[in-house]
Amino acid sequence: MITNEQFEILTSPQNPKIKFVTELLNSKGRKKHGLFLAEGLREMQIALKSGFTPIQIFFNSEFIEKKGL
């Protein structure tokens, strides 16, 4: 089972990590950082199978509860 101690809980839109991800929502931000977002479990699986390595993974508590982790 996954516990909260293993993750950082982000609650503020002013959090630098949230701001960074927000930059990746547009083409300019993706080009600037040379990164992209893979939203959703299916897209993450495709990215991993294609050889991409995630640098950060974000999810909400509902995802964990739904998947029984």
Residue 29 lies in a domain: yes
Q: Is residue 55 part of a domain?
A: yes
Query: Which pLDDT value is given to residue 26?
Result: 96
Tell me the three-class secondary structure of the chain, residue by residue: CCCHHHCCCCCCCCCHHHHHHHHCCCHHHHHHHCCCCCCCHHHHHHHHHCCCCCCCCCCCHHHHHHHCC
Would residue 1 count as lying in a domain? Answer: no
Q: What is the pLDDT of residue 69?
A: 63
- Residue 22, in any domain of the structure: yes
| Within a domain: 3 | no
Residue 39 has which token pair? Answer: 């939203």
Please give the pLDDT value at position 63.
77
Residue 23: domain span: 11-67
Per-residue pLDDT of the chain (69 residues; tens, 9 = 90+): 555 567 788 889 999 999 999 999 999 999 999 999 999 889 999 999 999 999 988 888 787 778 776
Count of domains forming the chain: 1
Q: In the prediction, which pLDDT does 4 show?
A: 59
The verdict on residue 28 lying in a domain is: yes
Q: Is residue 2 part of a domain?
A: no
